Copies of this chain bind each other. A is one copy, B any other.
Amino acid sequence: MTTDFAATRALFDLPEGIIYLDGNSLGPLPRAAIERLDRTARAEWGQMLITAWNRAGWMDMPRRLGDRIGRLIGAPHGTVVLGDTLSIKVHQALAAALELRADRQVILTDSGNFPSDIYMAQGLIRTLGRGHVLRVVEPEEVADAITEEVAVLMLTEVDYRTGRMHDMAGLTDRAHQAGALTLWDLAHSAGAIPVDVTAAGVDFAVGCTYKYLNGGPGAPAFIHMAPDLADRVRPALSGWLGHEAPFAFDPDYRPAQGIDRMRVGTPPILQMAALDAALDVWDGVDMSDIRTRSIELSQAFIAGVEAACPELVLASPRDPLARGSQVSFRHPEGYAIMQALIANGVIGDFRAPDILRFGFTPLYLSPEDIRRAVEILAGIMHNRAWDRPEYRRRAKVT
């Protein structure tokens, strides 16, 4: 292993006494983000004012940061751009794919896809009003459901509830054999597991940057298009910063070259600045080291929980190669158990109806953290410490 995990951990500002197993939902604060935000606000926004769009390189951030993320997902230089939210990027990719396969009517996805991806597809189908069909199958049925009716196969590589991982290369290959395009959501992949969109031949990939990439709450999303597709795509969300010459103020939209046409409006520079600092942490980090360590941590967690808490049922694949970088357990009282865990300094999260989710993020988690987390969870289960009104009372968001 070449990655120094003690060194990467030191780059985060982690609260004292907390074991954070929810980096798959919102990554923690990289120390450098504080200074970077302050500099962006004071020295750039404050002192350079409007001229910072050029002088501080703001206008190029969506592409520059895109390339930094591209390295982590196997995307060539100039094929990833940042902006908007993941839902918007799903819409852009899906609209483009449906236009490129205008003779087909089916969007194929699975029940493990994140609801927002499915909702965006439903909204797009309704808006188009051309009889497209969203076909939702079980994850294990996807391969057989890829027929020549399918315009685009839209999947999230790693299931947000269970961590179950699809065979991205295999399914992409199968989709291409059937003449379909592919749209992969890498929300739980980027920074979590090794990804190579180029080797897999992926057409469109999207993802968010506030989970494993630690870009901060509401950090912008990314989108990648395969180089051979990019110049054929006609953007549905044809915003001025995706124009060939945004500052010519032409009366007609002409798409920019390549991935730049997936830009829409003015980029969120404060979020971009925090994300840029968060990406510094990844310099010198080898994704195969991340994967090795993530498996060590998650296997230790599963073994510990199963030994100490037999009432918790593993909801994730037992084979570490069949899951991403999270582990989930089921329990009918999952909500209250998670509240008790959080009250005792172990932060994971709950996903309806009964899933306790734990993310394993080697950049800042050690084997000792995992040992302690298991011990605290076991104590809560043994003493039924979760069985209190204050833990059962549901907040709006968990």
| Residues on A facing B (Cβ under 8 Å) | 13, 15, 18, 20, 22, 25-26, 28-29, 33-34, 37-38, 41-42, 45-47, 49-54, 58-59, 84-88, 91, 95, 111, 114-116, 118-120, 122-124, 126-130, 136, 208, 210, 216-221, 234-241, 243, 247-253, 264-272, 274, 342, 347, 349, 351-352, 395-398
Contact = CB atoms under 8 A, between A and B. Distances in A.
Contacts of A118: 251, 253
B13 A269 contact: no
Contacts of A123: 235-238, 253
A79 B158 CA distance: 37
Nearest to A56: B217
Contacts of A250: 115
Contacts of A29: 41-42, 45-46
B88 A88 contact: yes
B38 A34 contact: yes
Contacts of A47: 15
The 10 nearest A-B residue pairs measured at CB: A85-B265, A123-B238, A116-B240, A218-B268, A87-B239, A217-B269, A29-B46, A119-B253, A87-B265, A127-B236
A249 B49 contact: no
A84 to B, nearest CB: 7
A75 B347 CA distance: 40
Contacts of A239: 85, 87-88, 116, 119-120
| Residue of A42, A129, A237, A274 with highest tally of chain B CB at under 10 A | A237
23 contacts: A13-B42, A13-B46, A15-B49, A26-B50, A28-B49, A29-B46, A34-B41, A38-B38, A45-B217, A54-B396, A59-B397, A86-B265, A87-B239, A95-B127, A115-B250, A119-B238, A128-B129, A218-B270, A218-B272, A247-B352, A247-B396, A247-B398, A271-B271
B50 A25 contact: yes
A216 B253 contact: no
A210 to B, nearest CB: 7
Contacts of A127: 95, 127-128, 236
A367 B123 CA distance: 51
A33 B86 CA distance: 27
A342 to B, nearest CB: 7
Contacts of A221: 265
